[in-house]
Amino acid sequence: MQAVFLAALAAASLVHLASLFSGSGRVRAFSKICLAPLILGTYISRAESVFFPVVLALFFGWFGDIMLLKKKDVRFFRLGLAGFLLGHISYTAAMFSFAGPPSPFALAAGLAAALPLGIGARRFIRPSKEMSLPAAAYETAILLMAFSALQLFLVRSLPFGALAFAGSICFLVSDFLLAYFAFHRQPRYGNVPVMVLYIAAQLCLVLGLAGM
């Protein structure tokens, strides 16, 4: 069954990426809202025991995907942001549940990376005044999610901890690009790297957590 979901996910991903080049709005929307349910199916078919926070993270991601179909409208952009923020919180809860209390090394490495990343991203993205506080909350949530993935990697290592950590890094880069394009001029095919990294992020996270 897992192979069926992976094959369907690969097909939906290719259709969605092709639609970003072709400009087919309906195909783009339909293929995008198929992604999270197929990733959820992959997780359920692979995991020995389904962990509810992971299911919740994918649900919130699916909600965010739907809202961001109209991301040019600030109301939908905020709702999409809220969906993914809750998704990151759910992933964080799941990974800390498996990894346990943070190790001193993880704390030191996390703080050393979070401060320059957070300050640098904020200066580079330069969100509008009305989005400054939501952007700060979101930035905190995704950095905490990446930190929990680092802790999981230190505890569980290869292959599952590494997959989860790789997923968190892909999410960081994908969300950074999405935020930058939201407040600046977006290249013609700017959504392509965003979606490639996003699909990789969700898949790596669920494959990693399925092995816990």
pLDDT tens digits for range 127-184: 777 777 888 889 889 999 999 999 999 888 789 999 999 999 999 999 999 888 888 8
Distances (CA, A) of 62 to 21, 31, 97, 198: 22, 12, 23, 12
Least confident of 26-30, 61-65, 82-86, 107-111: 107-111
Instruction: Kindly tell me if the per-residue pLDDT of 23 is higher than 80.
Output: no
The number of angstroms, rounded, from the C-alpha of 31 to the middle of its chain's C-alpha atoms is 17
Instruction: Kindly tell me if the per-residue pLDDT of 10 is higher than 90.
Output: yes
Q: Share the mean pLDDT of the chain.
A: 90
What does the pLDDT average to over 15-27?
89
Confidence of residue 103 (pLDDT cuts 50, 70, 90): confident
Least confident of 80-89, 108-117, 184-193: 108-117
The DSSP-derived string for 76-145 is HHHHHHHHHHHHHHHHHHHHHHHH-SPPHHHHHHHHHHHHHHHHHHHHHH---GGGHHHHHHHHHHHHHH
Residue 108 phi, psi dihedral angles, 5° rounding: -65, -45
What does the pLDDT average to over 4-30?
93
What does the pLDDT average to over 57-65?
97
Residue 163's pLDDT is 96
Domain ranges within the chain, ordered by starting residue: 2-210
